[in-house]
Amino acid sequence: MSYLKSSMLSLLVGVSVLTGCNSPSTDSVSEGGEAQTATTPVSSESLELLDITVSILPQAYFVEKIGGDRVEVNVMVQPGEEPATYEPKPQQLKDLSEAEAYISIGVPFENAWMDKIQSTNAQMLVIDSAQGIEKLEMAAHHHHHNDDHAEEAEHDEHGHEEEHEHEHEEKHEHAEGTLDPHIWLSPQRVKIQAQNIYQGLVTIDPENEATYQANLTQFLGEIDQLDQQIKQNLVGVENREFIVFHPAWGYFAQDYDLEQVPIEVGGQEPSAAELGELIQQAKAENIKVIFAQPEFSTKSAETIATEIAGEVLLITPLASNWSENLLQVSQTFADVLNQTGGEN
């Protein structure tokens, strides 16, 4: 039994004991004058929570918003871990044997582990929260090529450039063949995920459909309010371009008319030539802040920041308080982007 379920039962037992010992008001007198203790039966069904497992922390936020006090949520990818390379712990797989549902979202580790996850519990419902969402392709590097210089280059230099171009094209093609899994960073797409989660909970627990529907309606309203707050934070920001190590913010950028310039593409660190191009781009556009993610190495971001006399700021797409995190990130973007642009 889970810790939360055990704690609730222990609490109820404790309350029952205290009531029996210290509350004479629960006693009544029968017609024969014998004292009787009135008891209120507790339904075991009312204590049983739905055991739900999700892949990442933001999903737990969504499920708890819709499921309320009817759900107990377990998260696979723990803080500091990366969903692309995560490997579930043996105990996590064992715990799935008691789960009513697994809610997937399309992060990379699911592709490698979903068959194993499903095999742990044939009765477990797998809910695809990404169903109905049109995904974007992963972002690729932005380059500013000098055509005149290329025409004037010597043959050996031209050959070197062709080699670099070939390397870049391979990375770009790899990125284009990969769909962006970071759909939880778009409030509008989270509304679709919320609908999918709601449908899954109703499938498992139809008796509480009205509760889930009310919670869903409230959550959708909160998302709309968050969306307006983010737009308000970013209104009037003239420079809409930001450099970030891992391209997690493509959906967020699309929603709010920003442009994400990634350092890493397709899980690969940039080459020296690509790093040089990013440095030149940052200098040309007077960018002084490079965004990175605490789940990844910051080495490349720090290299660029050093060359542009700037700094590295950490932002995470995996915070447990989803709405608060997006609001804070939008304010950080606004503060930073308002300081960039123009000539050095």
Maximum separation of any 2 CA atoms in the chain, in Å: 114
212-260 pLDDT per residue, tens: 999 999 999 999 999 999 999 999 999 999 999 999 999 999 999 999 9
Give residue 265's pLDDT: 85
Give residue 53's pLDDT: 99
Give residue 244's pLDDT: 96
Give residue 268's pLDDT: 83
| CATH topology for the 147-179+236-337 domain | Rossmann fold (3.40.50)
What does the domain layout of the chain look like in residue ranges? 46-135+182-226, 147-179+236-337
Same fold across 46-135+182-226 and 147-179+236-337: yes
Phi and psi for 103 in degrees, rounded to 5? -105, 110
For residue 180, the Cα-to-chain-centroid distance in whole angstroms is 12
* 286 backbone φψ class: left, alpha, beta (φ>0; ψ -120 to 50): left
Q: What is the dihedral of CA 243, 244, 247, 253, to 10 degrees?
A: -60
Give residue 135's pLDDT: 97
The pTM for the full model equals 0.78
Assigned superfamily of 46-135+182-226? Nitrogenase molybdenum iron protein domain (3.40.50.1980)
Report how far residue 325's alpha carbon sits from residue 331's, in angstroms, rounded to the nearest whole number. Answer: 10
Q: Are the CB atoms for 111 and 130 separated by under 8 Å?
A: no
Q: Which residue has the tokens 């709010």?
A: 256
Per-residue tens of pLDDT for the chain, all 344 residues: 443 344 433 433 343 433 444 444 334 334 444 444 444 444 434 559 999 999 999 999 999 999 999 999 999 999 999 999 999 999 999 999 999 999 999 999 999 999 999 999 999 999 999 999 999 998 766 544 343 333 443 444 444 444 444 444 444 444 456 899 999 999 999 999 999 999 999 999 999 999 999 999 999 999 999 999 999 999 999 999 999 999 999 999 999 999 999 999 877 888 999 999 999 999 999 999 999 999 999 999 999 999 999 999 999 999 999 999 999 999 999 999 988 765 54
Give residue 18's pLDDT: 37
Q: Are the CB atoms for 180 and 137 separated by under 8 Å?
A: yes
Q: Are the CB atoms for 331 and 262 separated by under 8 Å?
A: no
Give residue 42's pLDDT: 41
Give residue 47's pLDDT: 58
8-56 pLDDT per residue, tens: 334 333 434 334 444 443 343 344 444 444 444 444 345 599 999 999 9
